[in-house]
Amino acid sequence: MQAKWISKKDLQKLVAKWVKKYAVYAPVYNGKELAFQIVEKPAQIVLDDYLNTRYPAKSLILPQSEVLMKYDGILHGVENAEKEKIILGIRSCDARAMRLLDHALIDDQNPDEYWKRKRDSAIIFTLGCNEPEETCFCTAVGGSPFGTNESDGLLIDMGDAYCIYLMTEKGKVLFKDLPDADEAQLKNVKKMTKQVEKDMPALLPKQELHDALMASFETDFWKDVSQSCLGCGVCTFLCPSCFCFDIVDETVRKERVRNWDTCMFRTYSLEASGHNPRPTKAERTRQRVMHKFAYWVDLIDEIGCTGCGRCVKYCPVNIDIREIAATALQQDFEGMKK
């Protein structure tokens, strides 16, 4: 892994060059909040002292509403060409989520072309988290605030400069003329990152939690957990690793679109017959939690939650997935079974 060193000033100059050739997305204050937007001037970018954007960066690859095709008697595909883009400064939790979504949306036979096209045209540089928020728990679910295997490069804020680890060729090309970080600099980086990681929550026992949840399936645990759930889509829409969508024909505009959908809506699992296999909030909450902490583990032996903490922070009734996981680990589900 290559490590480079760049002053913050020089990074701005570099970004000024990038914006001429690429669509550069970075955290920008839009007057209401921080959000990933196309950057026109490097000075707009907010990389210092930011925690995370509330709206997840997955939307850059999987937009909330996306036109799949248009029709007016005959079908028209949508424009295929994607301008190459650089996504600068997403957090490692969000970058890890994109890698998880690759598993869900790209397989060898049937890749989701819409996702793949945008994904292939994106170069992603993560920004390490020197001061994670209190709701952050990436370390509990197998990630790190300085995760290196999630993107093309990782920037670590070292005061007036960034240390940049470059993982892929795509990443290396963009920083190629820079000096390598020297040993003393790298030692400082290691010392700082180790300390930050040490203060974060401990790793959850993945298999034990998986087994506990599997045992919980038919118990009243979910009724208790979901009692205060309102059934809105905040947790899943803001989740970087949720990817469910619904396809709708917008007949007035003659477009077929897909919109984010969520297992937390009653209508998500409602069948045409009127039957709903997840009839109450209990089954729906169970689905959300088990998808992350049990089904992903079955599929790729990784937890499907990346610990960004958005669902915890923005849930209107303070349902806390960390608390659900911790409680599940304590429960005697065999004794609870009906």
**Residue ranges binding other proteins (CB under 8 A):** 32-34, 49-51, 54-55, 64-65, 131, 133-135, 227-228, 230-234, 237-238, 246, 248, 250-253, 257, 259-260, 262, 265-267, 276, 279-281, 312-314, 316-320, 322-323
Smallest distance, Å, CB 257 to other proteins? 6
| Beta carbons within 10 angstroms of residue 198's beta carbon | 8
DSSP state of 69: E
Cβ-proximal residues to 93 (8 Å cutoff; 6+ apart), any chain: 52, 136, 138, 143, 147, 240, 306, 307, 308
242: nearest Cα among 116, 59, 92: 59
Smallest distance, Å, CB 101 to other proteins? 18
Smallest distance, Å, CB 118 to other proteins? 17
Is the Cβ of residue 152 or residue 261 nearer to other proteins in the bound state?
A: 261
Q: Please answer whether residues 329 and 205 qualify as being in contact, where contact means their C-beta atoms are separated by less than 8 angstroms.
A: yes
Which residue's structure tokens are 């002292």?
A: 49
- CA torsion through residues 276, 279, 285, 290, sign: negative
Is the Cβ of residue 34 or residue 106 nearer to other proteins in the bound state?
A: 34
Q: Looking at the chain, how many residues does it have?
A: 338
Is the Cβ of residue 10 or residue 131 nearer to other proteins in the bound state?
A: 131
Smallest distance, Å, CB 1 to other proteins? 30
The helix/strand/coil state of 307 is: coil
Smallest distance, Å, CB 322 to other proteins? 7
Is the Cβ of residue 159 or residue 231 nearer to other proteins in the bound state?
A: 231
| Beta carbons within 10 angstroms of residue 176's beta carbon | 10
Structure tokens at 208: 């034990």
Is the Cβ of residue 184 or residue 272 nearer to other proteins in the bound state?
A: 272
Smallest distance, Å, CB 37 to other proteins? 13
The vertex-323 CA angle with 89 and 199, nearest 5°, equals: 50
Is the Cβ of residue 314 or residue 333 nearer to other proteins in the bound state?
A: 314
